[in-house]
Amino acid sequence: MPADSLGWSLLLAARAVAAVRDGKSLTEALLALSKELPVARSAAQDVAYGVLRRYGWGEFLLGRLLEKPLTHPETHALLLAALYRLETRPEAAHTVVDQAVVAAGELAGGVFKGLVNGVLRNFLRRRESLLAAAAADDQAAQQHPNWWLRKLRRAYPQDWQRIVAAGNSQPPMTLRVNRRRLAPADYAARLELAGHPARPVGLSGLQLERPVSVDALPGFFDGLVSVQDAGAQRAAELLDPVAGAYVLDACAAPGGKTAHLLERADLDLLALDIDAGRTRRIEENLQRLALHATVRVADCSAVDQWWDGRPFDAILADVPCSASGVVRRHPDIKWLRREGDIRRFAQTQTAILDALWPLLKPGGKLLYATCSVFPEENGGQIDAFLVRQPDAEQLRVEQLLPLEEHDGFYYALLRKSP
């Protein structure tokens, strides 16, 4: 099968989606495509992301098109990929069906070619009635699990639909200009000359009109600019440590917030992460930007294993969370998460807060950060912490709901009593 054919991209996307359905993250699943030609990898990635953004819709349709559950995971995922293409490229329906059948010939010895052909043609015959039924089903129509929708409706009765719509959309590409090297307006002029217009967002950000490869960004490999969501850029702006401060970035990988802190001021910064592979990403980012920090592999809550007793002037606690605010970038999260996971994340967050607070100097600041929109991980977590810690004062809170301009984040800036 030609590497630039639709059938090949459907097959590669099906393998990635099947891996996600088996519990892998989409990022991890797409790594398996790294040796494919760029054109094939890009096309497969586009389909895989589309399938997972519309996963509830696709599963709803297959539930009505299959007489019994399909036991071959990659063929099931291939049908999801083909349904996505049929809905987004209806003018090419004949080609999509033909190429999906060709792709099915590469799976399980081709025994499901007839099934794939029959299911897809049945969808085209019944398309109007099936789409009407999907539109009437909450999970299929909203593209979020039912438990997730219940939580959003309860927490945001006026905004839940906007949050859902943002979660189903394609994210913008936002850059953070290294202000040590040049001003955002100057870099915007460089982008314009390169044919990549962008508009300013926040203090250091530029949102591109259209996403591009980092290879196309002027000076990217020279450290002039980084890719970082505008909402994520608020962390360094809110913590705002003074030059010379001793700073802890407690859950630092992949290093975007670490680098932004160092771009804003000369700091003595310790960056920790529990994952050795992700810790290497911190070092790579710092090297590209010509910045320096002490980087260590460590569980930040296991203080006795890494802390030398020297208190910090400022701490960034960008804690593990549900990532419910960034699902447009990671659509697999909606379907990999379970409702019980939120409670487990909250327990981890509590442990991290309680472990790090004693490490802060009197008068020092701690910024608690999540990329979640669920209150249990955000305001509920901080309210409980303030009860446990009478020497903690809340200086500022920001709940950023997902918008066109940024993803969803929560920030609580706390100060320890002098």
Which residues are marked as active site?
371
172, two tokens = 């913008």
Read off φ and ψ for residue 160, nearest 5 degrees. -60, -35
Residue 276: in which H helix or E strand, if any?
helix 276-289
Q: Concatenate the DSSP letters of all residues of 50-112 into one string.
A: HHHHTHHHHHHHHHHH-SS----HHHHHHHHHHHHHHHH-GGGHHHHHHHHHHHHTTSGGGTT
Q: Which residues contact 233 (CB under 8 A, 6 or more apart)?
A: 174, 176, 202, 203, 204, 205, 260
How wide is the angle at C-alpha 386 spanned by C-alphas 382 and 389, nearest 5°?
130
Q: Contact, 194 vs 216, CB < 8 A?
A: yes
In one letter, which amino acid is 171? Answer: P
Question: What's the CA gap between 166 and 240, in Å, rounded?
Answer: 29
Task: Say if CB 325 and CB 408 are below 8 A apart.
Answer: yes
* Environment class of 95 (CB within 10 Å of its CB; exposed 0-12, middle 13-18, buried 19+): middle
